[in-house]
Every structure is written in structure tokens, then in C-alpha cells.
Amino acid sequence: MYDLLIHGGTVVTVDSADTVLTEAWLAVKNGVIAALGAGRQDKPLPAAADTIDACGGIVMPGLVNAHSHLPMILFRGLADDLPLMTWLNDHIFPAEAAFVTPDNVHAAARLACAELLLGGVTACCDGYFREEQVAAAVNEMGLRAVLGQGVVDFPAPGVDDPSRHLTVAQDFIDRWTDRSPLITPSIFCHAPYTCGPETLRQAKAIARAAGVLFQIHAAETRDEVRRIQYLYGRSPVSHLDHLGLLDPATLLVHAVWMDAEDIARAADTGAGIVHCPESNMKLGAGIAPLPRFLESGLTVGLGTDGCASNNNQDLFREMDMTAKLHKLAAGDPTAVPAATALKMATIEGARAIGLGDIAGSLEVGKRADIIILDSRHPRLRPMFNPVSQVVYAAGADCVRDTIVDGQVRVRARKLVEWDLETLMKPVETVARAILPPNRADRPGIGAPDPDGDGPHAT
């Protein structure tokens, strides 16, 4: 007797053989994928306590968002289309200083998790300040996550004294080690230009001692490359390598400006990469050399980045954008095919963030992180090739059911345990404080009824 049986769909396993099973079924026991079968309509289905009919839809691994800043949904659309430094210094940093309180982080992270679960993301790798509250929120919402407390060389929300960042990060790791089956602690050094060499070395030492992932934004903009070159006489990745920071438990996020030597260094050391095409496009940062990463055998996941620079957490769009962007960059429609983008958003992302053994594909023995796409959706019809459909046609709106660790978190497009209003309300309250609805400079508010006499007759 299984706990959960999913049947009647096309199962895109994303296993090493790219197996796709039609008219298939999948059984879950104790949070683990216990059995898979296909093409045996003459045999009775195994018994289970709960059953989901996939109704001809696509059953696939839950998506892995390999780079997020969940609480930043607080600032979604607060400031767009601005020069990078104006955006950061005049909008994001002041808003963070004023509003990144424990309660606000907790509320924002919960709503961000709702968006992820409803959009088919079952695991994410996050880094921010007050990550303690992010962890509590993610754990409550039932997502799988690798979470890193942010480290910089200046004061940040929750850490007034910069000398305490590493202690706070160490405490976070200690508190979340073996505390929840869903949460894996990590450490998140913001970037080579916000963390000096000694901070970076010490943070990586903490990560190594605890056996956790070391995340860092690296080589995101040309400006960063110039700064690091000026300060240390090396490229950002070379700088990190010379500090002894690169290994398979280091995650280089963005990696837009990587030359051949940087790529070789990353590949030799086994460091993981997260590609964030939408964020890189929106900030005008550039195009990461993804085809060269893949040729070099690097493990590359996909991330949405925070909501202030995307501004959604739809990993389906990110897959689509990845495949299309690199076809454009190469002038070649065969570049980065759909299957590659799908792997980046599932198994490769899981590997990059250290969850490759338990998540990212549908295989017997893996944790049951599964999503079901609705076959009755006009965007998915007709369906010749489920992988093409997932990458080029589907969107977050095609996700009908989301299962994490064997638990059904979204069923028929609704969160099973949570009321959306309850999750949205506190975030709305914070948003009204960030930018009061009646403030004159609030964007996008036009003139009220000009003559003040109600209806404008034709």
C-alpha cells in the first residue's frame, strides 16, 4: 500500500537516459518515489491511500530555482527601468534598511513560497539577510530549500556590526543543521566586491567545516570585473580561485563575464554555476557564455534572482528565455535545445545546489518532488513533444498539482494548507508603508475624476 499514486500522465523523468513514459504511473511511500511504471494498461494499478489522476497531463520533477532572494518580493515593481546604481542606492538599499524586519521577511518569504509552489517550483536556493525568518517561512510552507545567511563587509538588516556577519551565519548553519528534512543551511557571501578576501576565506572555512554550500554572486557585470581587476589584479573568478574558494560546494551565481581561463578554473575545481538570464537582461548585465559552460562539463542551474530584478519567479519563463537567448546569441536555432533548458531547471540545478542525490529527477529512491501540468490547458495542446511543451509553451499557469517530499502542497491550482488572502494581507500592509498609496511620487497614478462630477458622459 503506497501513500500516493499518480497515474494517467506522460512522465518526463529527466533521468540520465531522458526517459519519457506514456500512460505511466508513479507511486510514493514515506516521501520517496517507490515505483514507476508505464504502458501496462492491462494491469491493475497498485493501491494507495491517495490517488491523483494526471488526466493525460505531464508529470515531471518539480522545478529547482537555484538562485532566489525570497523576501525581495516586498520590492516587486518598486523601481524599474533605472540605472543600476540609482536603483540600488536610491530605492532598494533604503527600502531594505527600513523594511527588512523579521516579521516582514517572514511574511514576504511565505508569499514568495506560495508563488513558487503554485508555479511548480519545489526547491530553491536562497540567500538574504534575516535568513532565519526565511527558513521558518519556507519550512512552514513546505518547500525544499538550501538557505544561506547573507554576509557583506558593512552593516545589513539584522546585523548592525559588520564584524558579526560571520558569527550570525555560523549560528544560522548550526541552528538549521538536521532540524528539518526540507531545509539545508548554507552561507551566502554577497559578492567579491562587497566581501573582502579575509571575509571570503573565513566564510568558506565555515562552509567547509559544516559541509555546506558556499554561494556567491560572481562576474555579474563588466563593472565588477573592472573593480576586482583594479583591486586584486585578477578576474572575479580567478580572485576567488586564488583565495582557495572554488570546489564542488561553491556556487557561482550569474557568471556573465567569464573568459576561457575562468571557465577552465571553474570546471577544474567542480564549482557550480547558476544562470539567471532574465535578471541579467533586465539589468543590462550581459549574456553568460552558457554553451561554453556546458561544453566544459560545468554543472549549471537556473535561477530567477530576486523579484526586484525580474520581477516574477516563473521558472518556466526562465527555461524558455534560456533556450531562446542562447539561440539568439549564437545565431543558431539548434543552440541550447529544450532538453538542456529543462535539465538546468531540474536535475542540473539540484546538483549545483547539492541536492542532486535526492531531487531534480523522477527516479525510484529519490524524494518525491513532483509537479503535474494540466493537459486541459489550451497552451499545451496539441502535444507532440512533452519536453518542447514544458520549455516553449508552458508557463506557471499550467501547473495543476505540486508535491514536495511526498506531500501534496498544491492541488487543482490551490494551496492545500494555506489561504492566499492570509498570506497576502501582511505583505500588502508592508507595501503600503513602503510607498503610501496617496504619495504624490507613487508611480503610475494618474489624475482622478477631473471635473469631480462623477460619470463622464460620452
Binders in 98-157 for a copy of itself, by CB under 8 A: 111, 114-115, 118
Residues 263-292 that bind a copy of itself (CB under 8 A): 278, 280-287
Angle, in degrees to the nearest 10, between helices 131-141 and 165-176: 20
Tell me: does residue 92 bind a copy of itself (CB under 8 A): no
Q: Looking only at Cα atoms, what is the longest distance across the chain? A: 73
Told to check if 88 binds a copy of itself by CB under 8 A, we report: no
**Stretch of residues binding a copy of itself (CB under 8 A), selected from 69-77, 167-175, 241-249, 262-270:** 69-77
**Least Cβ distance, residue 168 to a copy of itself (angstroms):** 27
Give the other-Cβ count within 10 Å of 230's Cβ.
Answer: 8
Is-contact 73 111, C-beta < 8 A? yes
Phi–psi pair at 107, nearest 5 degrees: -65, -45
Is residue 258 within the footprint of a copy of itself (CB under 8 A)?
no
Stretch that binds a copy of itself, among 171-179, 241-249, 288-296, 329-337 (CB under 8 A): 329-337
371 binds a copy of itself (CB under 8 A): no
Q: Which of 412, 388, 380, 416 has its CA nearest to residue 57?
A: 380
- Contact stretch for a copy of itself (CB under 8 A) within 155-163, 211-219, 296-304, 429-437: 429-437
State the minimum distance, in angstroms, from the CB of residue 448 to a copy of itself: 3
Candidates 12-20, 124-132, 160-168, 191-199: pick the segment binding a copy of itself (CB under 8 A): 12-20
Please say which residue, 188 or 418, places its beta carbon nearer to a copy of itself.
418
b/e per residue 292-305 (b: at least 16 CB within 10 A): ebbebebbbbbbbb
Give the integer Cα–Cα distance in Å for 429 and 448: 23
Least distance in angstroms from the C-beta of 176 to a copy of itself: 25
**Pairing state between β 20-29 and 32-38:** antiparallel
By CB under 8 A, the residues from 15 to 54 that bind a copy of itself are 17-22, 27, 29, 32, 34-40, 43, 46
The nearer residue to a copy of itself, 95 or 123, going by C-beta atoms, is 95
User: 143 in helix, strand or coil?
Assistant: coil
The answer to whether residue 210 forms part of the interface with a copy of itself (CB under 8 A) is: no
Q: Stretches 204-212, 233-241, 266-274, 389-397: which one binds a copy of itself (CB under 8 A)?
A: 389-397
Cα separation, 397 vs 193, whole angstroms: 38
**What b/e readout covers 150-179, taking b as 16+ CB neighbours within 10 angstroms?**
bbbbeebbbbeeeeebbebbbebbeebeee
- The CB-of-126 to a copy of itself minimum distance in angstroms stands at 17
